[in-house]
Chains A and B, each alone.
Chain A
């Protein structure tokens, strides 16, 4: 019996320590929620980390007690034990201690809930609209509409007014804040603030249909001057190709096919565009497309144009049966929609 219980405790120690050992060997994920890079995420981390430790200590005590009882009171052929039916004092004790502990956790929890669900008065506003399966960003004061990559100034709170155009989505940039739903027909609020310039990855949290896995997000925090430069160039109309270039053929394709669903400011207008606004599709900050699931390279754009529903199942953009010439022209055109290149 003795060797068996020892073996059991070794197994147990291995099982519990293995994740920690291996976890430290693997590089963190860009979605790591334990690596806060902004005030909201840090507040959550500071609130949550002690709870993990407390839970860990309680776990160690309970499992230690269990292991102790299993070893100390195992059947060694001793006489049958005294028939103890309970102990009122102990019952009070192990009712009261958890209540006190939980009350201690409750106070900072409630404080944090209220602190983190409000935007600061001087916060910058961005409207976030969820679509199957991409995020649209509108800057109401600046008059900018873009998709997939949200550009924000570092060190400044951004207040997101969020809603959805179809089903429930859930906006999550783990290093900057927790999640908040985007609810069709309703408005929800979430704050974002990054301490430092950088690229922060995100992912839709709520199951939203076929391509939920591919509904990703990027937040690019830049310093104030870069941000202002970005705003200025985003407010320009699109950079259109010169006549006779391959990209000009792409513009013609756009006008013939794409313009029923997509808007390029300076080219067309739609009451209710189905797809993302492509005006500054190739802005250097907008380095991903297709729900932030693909890097914006010529190869990826060509793959996408050839057959969108195979890349993103359920996609509202159908397979348009484009020829390779048409695709090449469109790739040249789209990659030219870069406001830094000027007209």
Chain B
């Protein structure tokens, strides 16, 4: 990373702030970027959660009157879009950013400024999407009429309302008038770019910046899952980018890709969308699988059972994930041959998934299980994910899926996978790695309260949805009549949803209190196995005082423990001294360390996308094209500034 050559150019000075808001704006430190990803993702989690709570009020009883049809459509669309693109994906990016370099023994990612760029593009993409509440307009399909002769929706309803899946031609210009769907298509395009950039960055980092001795099969499983997710993003995002361009062209320029009246194809969109959308599901769940593959061994005090099998199963899920997209379309009228092929392919996904689950259980078997909060969340993950996985297998029975598809049975299934799976895994990771951020522990007492509330709330919310779906409750319907007999279970679901909300409140209290007053963690509070625990907490700016050298899988464990003849761990006599030595060299690096310098340009380049997005939507207005031109010029000049930025600026060494 360090270079001793003189600056090539001094046209642009690099910013120097190391604290205050400017330091966050210009930082290229993967930890600060990770923290910003985390907080902004959590902010969107709250928004997406509030949207869900409003939906549940509406559905608590028959013929709900809390929302009108358009507001309901807007809320379910924004709930899905927010949770997927603005919460689970970026919170995954937060973990990748913060933890992955620490787990491979690197001082930063391969391209620190690009890392900042992907964060800022994500932020501006999120702002852009949510600005549709302020600026978006929506109306009935061409020729249709809104209640009371209205021409536009309420503010709550004037946001993206075509479903996160934006099925065509309903989300096309003829049937979704107004601008909200343009906010949707262009917003997702911007967010996709952010993920694409970070995918390239993570792949380059994992392949090039591992510590000496960290062979690929010595990498923690979490790093492996980061790598698989990055490849999934790399290959799937271009597909949705193309599809979103087609939609934007249809809506803005009058092309006819999906206009069935003019020979366009409605099903083409579904193929493109799900060819991205199914790998996307694994993009959402694999980080959580990586997290519990770290926590289960630590709290069972055993190594991960079948490490290579878990790694290869993760990679296999990634590969197979590209071959099953049409199982989202079993009812669409695709040929029986295609239905059979995609049904069988879908069944095969169960095999590597099963391998993972059995190996996690093998990890716990004959272990010494400590029921810490991160462990509870990991166990919750395994239990709930098994339920989601098995209901997934029932979808692969294609004719059964003709009954299940588009019902709450599907909603139940993917919430068991994405809430019971991804979100429980994320919370396991937050409780587990909190000391790395703060040097403190989250309260175990509040943590357990959080877990039990969330576990009970989760099952109350999503468990009855299986039944409702099989009873015929169709998704995305803003009300149901009394005769359907859905009322009782929907009330239970609503109570469950508010229980989850309560649990999140407990978590927030825990976070805020523990950040200031939590017990000090020391360096290795969990007696963990991997090298991110071989450095002080909170993580020093330079990560590793001395570049680590790795001799084994679970290297940190092997520095502390030997195995006796029976294979039982025996703490080395010098273990405490080793920890003290690592702590000391972590706090006081023996040699000067050169860190990448901050930069203004990622922020500037990211903000350009806001202007570009609005410019495209409003290109027919007088100020639209100038705004677009401004955005492009801002982007180009940021790139020029970026490339002319001196690689190294004279600055005080972080530590001499």
Interface residues of A (CB under 8 A from B): 1, 4, 11, 15, 18-19, 22-23, 26-34, 41, 43-44, 47-48, 51-52, 55, 58-59, 62-63, 65-66, 69-70, 73-75, 78-87, 90-91, 94-95, 98-99, 102, 105-106, 109-110, 112-114, 116-117, 132, 166-168, 170, 172, 174, 177-181, 183-186, 188-189, 203-213, 274, 293, 307-310, 313-319
Closest to A116 in B: B399
Closest to A177 in B: B402
Query: B485 contacts which of A4, A28, A94 (Cβ < 8 Å)?
Result: A28
Say whether B484 contacts A30, CB under 8 Å: yes
Closest to B468 in A: A29
* Residue B480, interface by CB 8 Å: yes
Say whether A83 contacts B144, CB under 8 Å: no
Say whether B366 contacts A82, CB under 8 Å: yes
Say whether A47 contacts B305, CB under 8 Å: no
Say whether A205 contacts B357, CB under 8 Å: no
Indicate whether A73 sits within 8 Å of B367 (C-beta atoms), given known contacts A32-B471, A213-B69. yes
CB within 8 Å of A: which B565-581 residues:
566-569
Say whether B379 contacts A70, CB under 8 Å: yes
Question: What distance in Å separates the Cβ of B153 from its nearest Cβ neighbour in chain A?
Answer: 10
Say whether B339 contacts A113, CB under 8 Å: yes
Say whether B371 contacts A74, CB under 8 Å: yes
Indicate whether A55 sits within 8 Å of B141 (C-beta atoms), given known contacts A44-B399, A314-B69. no
* Residue B348, interface by CB 8 Å: yes
Query: B263 contacts which of A34, A185, A211 (Cβ < 8 Å)?
Result: A185
Say whether A210 contacts B333, CB under 8 Å: no
Complex Cα distance, B240 from A339, in Å, reads 53
Closest to A294 in B: B481
Interface residues of B (CB under 8 A from A): 68-70, 73, 140-141, 143-149, 163, 167, 169-170, 175-176, 260-261, 263-267, 300-303, 305-309, 331-333, 336, 339-340, 343-344, 347-348, 350-351, 354-355, 357-359, 361-362, 364-371, 379, 382-383, 386-387, 390-391, 393-394, 396-407, 456, 459, 463-464, 466-467, 470-481, 483-486, 488-489, 492, 563, 566-569
B340 proximity list for chain A (CB < 8 A): 109-110, 113-114
**Given known contacts A105-B396, A174-B403, what 12 new A-B pairs fall within 8 Å (CB)?**
A48-B397, A81-B568, A83-B567, A98-B351, A166-B141, A178-B399, A179-B406, A181-B332, A205-B407, A205-B474, A208-B170, A314-B144
Indicate whether A210 sits within 8 Å of B301 (C-beta atoms), given known contacts A22-B488, A34-B470. no
Say whether B472 contacts A63, CB under 8 Å: no
A4 proximity list for chain B (CB < 8 A): 371
Say whether A98 contacts B350, CB under 8 Å: yes
Say whether A33 contacts B471, CB under 8 Å: yes
- Report 22 cross-chain contacts, Cβ distance below 8 Å, ordered by A residue: A59-B387, A62-B357, A74-B368, A75-B369, A80-B568, A98-B354, A112-B398, A113-B398, A114-B340, A116-B402, A132-B141, A168-B266, A170-B406, A178-B400, A180-B331, A180-B333, A183-B260, A213-B477, A213-B480, A313-B70, A316-B143, A319-B149
Closest to B372 in A: A75
Indicate whether A114 sits within 8 Å of B390 (C-beta atoms), given known contacts A44-B399, A48-B399, A206-B167. no
Say whether A178 contacts B403, CB under 8 Å: yes
